[in-house]
Amino acid sequence: MNSRQLAETENKSLVSGHRACAGCAFPVITRTILKSSKDPVVITNATGCQEVVSTIYPYTAWKSSFLHTAFENAGANISGIEACYQAWKRTGRIDQHINFVAFGGDGGTYDIGLQSLSGALERGHDFLYVCYDNEAYMNTGIQRSGATPFGADTTTSPAGKVRQGKSQKRKDLVKICAAHNIPYVAQASISNLMDLSRKAEKAFSIRGPKVLVVLSPCNPGWRTATDNMVELSQLAVDTCFWPLYEIEDGHKYTINLTPREKKPLTEWLKLQGRFKHLFKPGNEALLVEAQKQVDEQWEQLQAHAKMGV
């Protein structure tokens, strides 16, 4: 599918009328991924921002088959749905191919739902799991999550006299999922919708469990303007904080885009209020540490891709 075809494809999934914040990225992520499916989709959505703003009773912004599940069990939920479908196929009750998609934020994926997701991946169910990663528990008050970057100011990792934001490194969800030796895991960004769509198409063409992790800027939680989600996403890629890459069969690494000029991490950090304390006198070492972490991760990714493993 080319860019024109993607733009002209009818939106049959998440439609207008949801109550997401202005400038929120996940509606773009969701529509792009679901437009990339040639077959009907059944969707389950863990409790979180996307579920809350799109299914406020008695209204819904979903046109596809949709099931709200709890924060912690999206993986188990999509497993049961897909297992029922496979049973119906075996008994001849259905012969149409259907794609199964589970959505969750980083709180419901990196943390609360990780055990459920891990079980679904290990059992080998045929589904796509999409994590829209806004890097904190935004829906419940901007608390830190396993996805929150080093140094970020949240309500549970505040920048103050004792600490200067989150002191731990963020989890690497893509590698965690790849360690299950599943067919396909990829990291994507709305700054490159064709890359995101291509990865979704590829995932839908593969049988077995697949995972897409997509950066989802959140202007209330990141304390940014409402009109720069694409700029923030692009800078995350250009600084190599959020590389675009994929892992097949648990070990085959491919980098999809190498920035022509790798920009310093401060170009991305300075646009976000959650990092403003890092630029105060006395916190220079924290900026150095943040840049070091990104550089090391990028070098490791390049080494994996070069070796092909």
Reply yes or no on whether the pLDDT at 308 is more than 90.
no
Q: Assess whether pLDDT exceeds 90 at residue 302.
A: yes
pLDDT at 6 over 90: no
Average pLDDT over residues 254-261: 96
Cβ proximity of 120 and 98 under 8 Å: no
Mean pLDDT (whole number) for 177-184: 98
Q: Report the percent of the chain where pLDDT is more than 70.
A: 100
* Architecture field, domain 3-307: 3-Layer(aba) Sandwich (3.40)
Report which residue type is found at 159.
A
Report the distance separating Cα 235 and Cα 215, nearest Å: 11
Contacts of 92 (CB under 8 A, 6+ apart): none
| Burial class of 58 by CB neighbour count within 10 A (0 to 12, 13 to 18, 19+) | exposed
Measured distance CA(109)–CA(138) in Å, rounded? 13
Q: Say what the pLDDT of residue 247 is.
A: 98
d(CA 77, CA 138): 23
**Cα torsion at 30, 223, 234, 265 (round to 10°)?**
-140
165 pLDDT more than 90: yes
Rounded distance between C-alpha atoms, residue 113 and residue 147, angstroms = 13
Q: pLDDT at position 38, please? A: 93
Q: What is the pLDDT of residue 271?
A: 97
- What's the rounded Cα separation, in Å, for the pair 126 and 124? 6
Residue 119 pLDDT more than 70? yes
Model pLDDT for residues 192-247, shown as the tens digit of each residue: 999 999 999 999 999 999 999 999 999 999 999 999 999 999 999 999 999 999 99
The two three-digit tokens of residue 309, written as one number: 């493993």
Q: What is the CA radius of gyration of the chain?
A: 19
**How many percent of the chain have pLDDT more than 90?**
90
User: What is the residue extent of each domain of the chain?
Assistant: 3-307
- pLDDT value for 65: 92
pLDDT band, residue 12 (cuts 50/70/90)? confident
User: Is 26 within 8 Å of 49 (Cβ atoms)?
Assistant: yes
pLDDT of residue 261: 94
Dump pLDDT digits (tens) for 272-281: 999 999 999 9
Q: Which two tokens mark 276?
A: 């403003």
Span 104-118, average pLDDT: 97
Residues found in the chain: 309
pLDDT tier at 309, thresholds 50, 70, 90: low
Segment 284-302 shows an average pLDDT of 98
Alpha-carbon distances, residue 305 vs 202, 210, 253, 300, 302 (angstroms): 19, 19, 5, 9, 5
Q: Taking residues 17-45, what's their average pLDDT? A: 93
Q: How far apart, in whole angstroms, are the C-alpha atoms of residue 238 and residue 5?
A: 27
Question: pLDDT averaged over the chain?
Answer: 95
HEC-encoded secondary structure of the chain = CCHHHHHHCCCCCECCCCCCCCCCCHHHHHHHHHHCCCCCEEEEEECCHHHHHHCCCCCCCECCEEEEECCCCHHHHHHHHHHHHHHHHHCCCCCCCCEEEEEEECHHHHHCCHHHHHHHHHHCCCEEEEEEECCCEHHHCCECCCCCCCCCCECCECECCCCECCCCCCCCHHHHHHCCCCCEEEEEECCCHHHHHHHHHHHHHCCCEEEEEEECCCHHHHCCCCCCHHHHHHHHHHCCCCCEEEEECCCEEEEEECCCCCCCCHHHHCCCHHHHHHHCCCCHHHHHHHHHHHHHHHHHHHHHHHHCC
Output the CA torsion sign for 163, 214, 105, 121: negative
